[in-house]
Amino acid sequence: MLLHTDQSLEAQFEIDVRPLYEVTGVDRERRTVQFRQAQTGEMGELPYDREPQTDFRSRIGPD
């Protein structure tokens, strides 16, 4: 079992860790991720260079 903090994941694996952010959509063609910040409700979009990873708590399915 490995235990990591947000900072150690970023340092060791170069992963952008954003606790309390929910991915609301992924546009593979444009290579962007849409998100909602759970505490503030802020919505936004970020580009990605590799396929986003998830903790599988919820899945985004077809509409």
**Do residues 36 and 30 touch, judged by C-beta distance below 8 A?**
no
pTM: 0.62
30 found inside a domain: yes
Residue 25, in any domain of the structure: yes
Residue 61 falls inside a structural domain = no
Q: Cα 34 to the chain's mean position, in Å? A: 9
In a domain, 1, yes or no: no
Domain of residue 44, residue span: 20-51
pLDDT digits (tens, 9 = 90+) for 2-57: 788 888 888 888 888 888 899 899 998 999 999 999 999 999 999 988 766 655 45
Residue 28 lies in a domain: yes
**Residue 27 belongs to some domain of the structure:** yes
CA 28 and chain centroid, separation? 14
